[in-house]
């Protein structure tokens, strides 16, 4: 079975901090929810070029990956090295509104 190397710029001990995750080669992505091919290509490109990743504090080998407009929630198998895409979503406009309001010290009204 071919091994997969994952490079990170911080130790696993820092579970609540962002890290940089980059794979030298992709062992494959398991697309259990049948996301469109374009989303899978975007995830592959992120993993190969490198991406900021936030380790899940409660589950080993689970990560949130932040792209420009999209978040990916993945698991990397410790046995096969394969990536499992568990969920992906666009960052919401509501979250952006809260940031804008916090920066301007204005009250936010959202529905």
Instruction: Give the Cα separation of 7 and 78 in Å (integer).
Output: 14
The Cα 42–Cα 51 span in angstroms is: 11
Is 109 inside any structural domain?
no
Give pLDDT tens digits for 52-81.
999 999 999 999 999 889 999 999 999 999
Counting the structural domains of the chain, the total is: 1
**Distance separating alpha carbons of residues 69 and 10, to the nearest angstrom:** 25
Residues making up the chain, counted from first to last: 111
Residue 110 belongs to some domain of the structure: no
Q: Is residue 22 part of a domain?
A: yes
Q: Quick check: is 84 in a domain?
A: yes
Please list the ranges in the chain whose pLDDT falls under 50. 1-5, 8-15, 96-111
**Four-residue CA torsion sign, 110, 97, 36, 46:** negative
pLDDT at 91: 83
pLDDT of 92 reads 76
User: Would you say 17 and 10 are in contact if contact means Cβ atoms under 8 Å apart?
Assistant: yes
Q: Please report whether residue 80 resides in a domain.
A: yes
Q: Is residue 111 part of a domain?
A: no
DSSP for 41-95, please give it.
HHHHHHHHH-EEEEE-SSSTTEEEEE-SSEEEEEEE-TTT--EEEEEEEEPPHHH
Whether residue 69 is contained in a domain is answered as yes
Full residue range of the structural domain in which residue 82 is found: 6-104
Q: Please give the pLDDT value at position 95.
A: 52
CATH number at residue 99: 3.30.2310
């Amino acid at each position: 079975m071919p091994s997969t190397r994952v490079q990170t710029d911080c130790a696993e001990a820092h579970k609540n901090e962002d890290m940089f995750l980059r794979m030298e080669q992709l062992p494959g992505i398991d697309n259990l929810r049948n996301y469109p091919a374009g989303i899978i290509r975007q995830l592959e490109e992120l993993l190969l070029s490198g991406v900021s990743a936030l380790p899940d504090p409660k589950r080993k080998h689970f990560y949130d990956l932040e792209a420009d407009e999209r978040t990916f929630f993945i698991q990397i198998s410790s046995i096969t090295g394969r990536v499992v895409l568990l969920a992906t979503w666009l960052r919401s406009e509501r979250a952006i509104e809260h940031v804008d309001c916090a920066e301007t010290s204005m009250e936010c009204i959202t529905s």
